């Protein structure tokens, strides 16, 4: 009887140990992160160059994943790679991310992992007659990275909704064009493109010219600072790798602290990593700009979601901005 009890106890201990091992199973040993180009992605560049994510993984008691840093252009390519399993973290504007969150509610269940920062986007023009949105005519063309569903076109629709009570009033004037090409055409003045809704560093490059002026600042449209780009993943990956997610966000937080404390060095690091031809002082000026804040806390997310629901881009707005992001971000002062 005693032997039987001993065998039973040993078996029970084995079952419990096996169960515990399954619960505490190892997290992912690789992390595939895709980013696009531009200074908005500086926190990722810093985290990569300084190995901050790996350091935070060790601090949390897990084996640092082997990180593969990829370059993809556009939210469509990001989403395809993420949903097909070829990517763990995608990056894009917050408004396209909200669209994908809504479309995948019952499938891949996309969820935000962290904001990359708040950054004002500027609607510029080389037409001296344009001072407000009401001054645009059928002869003008507004360049955007992608019409209707990208970050800039949705902010333009929000602005038109406020100005005219008709959110799509200016849509027919918009033209899809990459930021570098649109910048070249705006500065040349010899193109049908008379305006460009763009982000740093392109907005600063254009406004440095006496031929270009600002029509609209996205912070004015939102009533304050707002997130520009975000990092997102699938709910399954986030749930399966809680410490990896925590290490990633902690790594970005450290990167942001370093950027703010070392803007000159951050500018030099960005130029080297990107192979940029921009002057160091110019890049440092962008980093120091009052309208640029590198933070993982989402800002204005609820306003974007509410508008997208209002005009039918998404079926239903989230009850809270926290529904759009990993639960760990709920502790941050987001909006």
Give 79's contacts (C-beta < 8 A, 6+ positions apart): 90, 92, 100, 110
Signed CA dihedral, 300, 262, 270, 289: sign only: positive
Residue 230 near residue 321 (C-beta atoms within 8 A)? no
Sorting pLDDT into bands at 50, 70 and 90, what band is 75? confident
Can you name the residues that pair with 66 across neighbouring β-strands? Answer: 30
- H-helix or E-strand spanning residue 228: strand 227-234
What φ, ψ does residue 89 adopt, rounded to 5°?
A: -125, 130
**pLDDT at residue 19 tops 90:** no
Same domain, 127 and 163: yes
Indicate whether 98 and 233 sit together in one domain.
yes
> Looking at the structure, do residues 42 and 173 belong to the same domain, yes or no?
no
The answer as to whether 204 is a domain residue is yes
Question: In angstroms, rounded to a whole number, what is the distance separating the alpha carbons of residues 310 and 161?
Answer: 11
Residue 19 belongs to a domain: no
Q: Are strands 66-71 and 110-119 parallel, antiparallel or unpaired?
A: unpaired
| pLDDT range class, residue 25, cuts 50, 70, 90 | low
Q: Compute the distance between CA of residue 65 and CA of residue 27 in angstroms, rounded to an integer.
A: 8
Burial of 316 from C-beta contacts in 10 A (0-12 / 13-18 / 19+): exposed
Q: Looking at the domain assignment, is residue 8 inside a domain?
A: no
Please determine, for residue 61, whether its predicted confidence score (pLDDT) is greater than 50. yes
Do 99 and 243 reside in the same domain of the chain? yes
* Same domain as 248, residue 305: yes
Domain assignment present for 22 = no
Together in a domain, 101 and 148? no
Are 200 and 325 contained in the same domain? no
Q: Which of 188, 205, 222 is the last residue of a domain?
A: 222
pTM here?
0.89
Q: Which of 192, 222, 252 is the last residue of a domain?
A: 222
Q: What is the CATH number of the domain that holds 100?
A: 3.40.190.10
Q: From CA 135, how far away is CA 23, in angstroms rounded? A: 61
CA distance 310 to 26: 43
Number of structural domains the chain divides into: 2
d(CA 226, CA 293): 10
Establish if 162 belongs to a structural domain: yes
242 lies in the same domain as 315 = yes
| Residues 190 and 307 occupy one common structural domain | no
In a domain, 20, yes or no: no
**327 shares a domain with 196:** no
In 3D space, the residue among 48, 14, 24 whose CA is nearest the CA of residue 242 turns out to be: 24
Residues forming a β-bridge with 271 = none
- pLDDT at position 229 over 60: yes
Q: Summarize pLDDT for 127-184 with one digit per residue, the tens.
A: 999 999 999 999 999 999 888 888 999 999 999 999 999 999 999 999 999 999 999 9
Residue 324 lies in a domain: yes
Asked if residue 10 is part of any domain, the answer here is no
Q: Are residues 283 and 305 in the same domain?
A: yes
Considering the domain architecture, whether residues 325 and 233 belong to the same structural domain is answered as yes
Mean pLDDT of all residues in 314-324: 96
Quickly state the pLDDT bin for 38 (edges 50, 70, 90).
confident
Q: Residue 54's domain spans which residues?
A: 28-118+227-331
Nearest to 112 by CA among 95, 97, 102: 97
What residues are paired with 119 via a beta bridge?
Answer: 292
- Residue 228 CA: distances (Å) to CA of 5, 39, 117, 179, 294: 63, 11, 6, 15, 10
With contact defined as beta carbons under 8 Å apart, do 230 and 92 qualify?
yes
Q: Which of 222, 242, 261 is the C-terminal boundary of a domain?
A: 222
């Amino acid at each position: 009887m005693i032997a039987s009890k001993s065998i039973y106890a040993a078996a029970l201990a084995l079952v419990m140990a096996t169960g515990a091992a399954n619960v505490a199973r190892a997290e992912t040993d690789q992390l595939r992160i895709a980013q696009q180009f531009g200074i908005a992605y500086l926190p990722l560049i810093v985290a990569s160059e300084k190995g901050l994510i790996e350091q935070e993984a060790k601090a949390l008691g897990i084996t640092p994943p082997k990180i593969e840093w990829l370059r993809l252009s556009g939210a469509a390519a990001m989403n395809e790679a993420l949903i097909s399993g070829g990517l763990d973290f995608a990056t894009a504007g917050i408004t396209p991310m909200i669209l994908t969150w809504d479309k995948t509610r019952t499938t891949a269940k996309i969820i935000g992992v962290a904001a990359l920062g708040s950054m004002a986007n500027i609607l510029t023009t080389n037409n001296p007659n344009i001072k407000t949105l009401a001054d645009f005519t059928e002869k003008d063309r507004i360049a955007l990275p992608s019409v209707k569903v990208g970050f800039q076109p949705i902010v333009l629709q929000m602005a038109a909704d406020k100005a005219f009570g008709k959110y799509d009033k200016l849509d027919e004037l918009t033209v899809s064009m990459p930021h570098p090409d649109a910048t070249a055409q705006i500065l040349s003045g010899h193109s049908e493109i008379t305006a460009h809704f763009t982000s740093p560093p392109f907005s600063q490059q254009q406004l440095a010219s006496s031929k270009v002026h600002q029509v609209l600042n996205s912070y004015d449209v939102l009533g304050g600072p707002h997130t520009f780009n975000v990092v997102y993943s699938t709910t399954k990956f986030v749930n399966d790798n809680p410490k990896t997610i925590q290490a990633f966000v902690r790594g970005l937080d450290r990167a942001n602290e370093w950027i703010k404390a070392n803007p000159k060095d951050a500018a030099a690091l960005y130029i080297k990593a990107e192979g940029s031809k921009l002057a160091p002082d110019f890049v440092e000026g962008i980093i120091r700009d009052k309208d640029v804040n590198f933070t993982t806390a989402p800002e204005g997310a609820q306003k974007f979601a509410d508008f997208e629901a209002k005009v039918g881009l998404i079926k239903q707005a989230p009850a809270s901005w926290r529904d759009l992001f990993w639960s760990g971000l709920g502790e941050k002062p987001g909006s």
